[in-house]
Structure 1
Amino acid sequence: MLILRSIAFQICFYLNLILQLLIFLPIFFFISEERAWGIVKNMARSSLWILRVVAGTHSKVEGQENLPKGGCIVAAKHQSFWEIIALLPQLDSPTFILKKELMSIPVFGQYARRMKMIPIDRSKRGGAIPAMLEEAKRSVGEGRQIVIFPEGTRVAPGAAPDYRQGVYRLYEALDLPVVPVALNSGLYWPRKDVRRWPGTIRAELLPPLQPGLSRTDFIARLRDAIETRSEALLAEAERVDGLRPRPVRQTAEEVEGSS
């Protein structure tokens, strides 16, 4: 039953996404940004609805009171695609920092450009940061929130955290508070696995880190906040839904990227 529901979810999820992208394509680039955000957020909400109805996986995001008024940086744990669609409706006009390969996906990439997402070439490592900072400053000037995944890629639950320099460079350059986000999505929506496990995915927006911290203090506090609360959410998932982290196997690319 689990595998059948999971496959059905995959079919419904991608059909819904593709159909909405195509249906709104003729008007999407001519309407106001406010209406465009309405369309994009509705895509995210409908995806979460499909996840709940078809796969039996509920979604819960808490801690919205920790979002500062005005500009901020949202630094989220990244375990699956779930956090992208779950965070979208929670923010006014978020700018996600994403890998540049996503911008090459037909139609989806055009939507991402229209919504002013910031692509980053991970192969350039630190060399990609100046361009990222320039785009981020422009987005903040337009009143947008910056969303970044500090580890740079999806990390399986239970894997050792590896926080990259990009999140600190943003924090330093933008002089904005950073809202850590803890979650346990990888237990229910595992990477490289068709299965979607029933239960409730949880994410929490944690109290913001204010500007002015040194690099060492900032990274230590950010990592401690996210990892401590994420571990608690993993433990809650095991207690409530019987799920626990699976053995972590790194690919050659991931091993190279963490070295």
Structure 2
Amino acid sequence: MSAIRSLLFFLLFYPGTLIYVLTVILVSPFGTPPVRKVVHGWSDFHHWLVRHVLGIRFEWDGEIPGGPFLIAVKHQAMVETVEALRFARTPVVVMKRELTTMPLFGWVTLRYGSIGVHREAGAQALREMMAKGKEAVSEGRPVVIFPEGTRVPVGESPPLRPGFAGLYRALGLPVVPVAHDSGKLWPRGLVKQPGTIHFKVGETIPPGLKRDDVEARVHQAINALN
């Protein structure tokens, strides 16, 4: 049954995503608000499919505050990257550059305001990320980052990538850490399992801490359910 559900999700989500992408392109000349509305509609579409086709529920311990925060999220699966558009208010999402260079979809991510980072580009990539992050803050938008830098298997907790500390220092924002256990139901490959994904919002971490201190606190908080 899980395999059938997963196949149906695949057959609905990806063609549906193409429709939303084309719709963003069509409404883009009319300004940013319609673009955001369509992108948020896409994330709602994804959420509905996850809930009603895959049979996955979401349970939250804590609430993410509104306004400009640096939201640091554990990364175990695709599901939390799309859910971020729902649990944060019009966020700017830091993602790997490959996603922002995909045909059509990549253009939409940039039009929405996402930040593509080339992880091997070093200091130049960090400067670009900080500049776009500051632009987001000036608009009152939160910035979502996956500070471990890549998707990691359940049970693993690699050190944070340098980009997190640089962005934390440059933006001067409090950090809201978010832990979850999505990888238990959403492994690599086609088949996803029904059940409940638990999210835990950690204590807000103030700006201005030393790098070792903030990294240690964020690392512990995002791995609270690992």
* TM-score normalised over the length of structure 2: 0.93
Cα distance in 1, alignment partners of residues 14 and 2 from structure 2: 18
User: CA-to-partner distance for each residue in 1:100-127, whole Å, 9 max, x for gaps?
Assistant: 1111212111111111111111122454
Backbone CA RMSD of aligned residues: 1.6
Residue in 2 that maps onto 1:46: 45
Give the CA deviation at 1:174: 1.0
Q: Which runs of 5+ in 2 are unaligned?
A: none
- Equivalent residues, number: 226
Q: CA shift at 1:20, angstroms?
A: 2.0
Q: Secondary structure at the match of 2:184?
A: helix
- Cα pair 2:23 2:38 within 8 Å, conserved: no
Judging changes above 3 Å, is the alpha-carbon distance between structure 1 residues 165 and 24 closer, same or farther for their aligned structure 2 residues?
Answer: closer
Partner secondary structure for residue 120 of structure 2: helix
CA contact (8 A) 1:120 1:132 kept: yes
Aligned-residue offset at 1:173: 1.2
Largest Rg, 1 or 2: 1
SS of structure 2 residue aligned to 1:230: coil
1:48–1:59 CA contact under 8 A, matched in 2: no
Q: Deviations over 1:172-206 (max 9, x none)?
A: 11111000010111111112x11110001122222
Long gaps (5+) in structure 1: 232-259
Task: Tell me, in whole angstroms, the C-alpha distance in 2 between the residues paired with 1:91 and 1:160.
Answer: 23
Partner Cα distance (1:18, 1:61) in 2: 30
> Residue in 2 aligned with 1:247?
none
The aligned runs of 1:65-214 (5 Å cut-off) are 66-67=64-65, 69-191=66-188, 193-214=189-210
- Cα distance in 2 between the residues matched to 1:73 and 1:148: 7
Give the share of equivalent positions with the same residue, in percent.
35
CA shift for structure 1 position 134:
1.3
Equivalent residue for 1:249? none
The structure with the largest helix share of the pair is 1
**Distance in 1 between residues matched to 2:166 and 2:95, nearest whole Å:** 16
The reply on whether 1:216 has 2:218 as its aligned counterpart is no
Give me the TM-score of the superposition, normalised by structure 1.
Answer: 0.82
Are residues 183 and 25 of structure 1, via their aligned partners in 2, closer, same or farther at CA, if it must alter by over 3 Å? same
DSSP 3-state at the match of 2:53: helix
> What is the alpha-carbon distance in structure 2 between the residues aligned to residue 110 and residue 70 of structure 1?
25
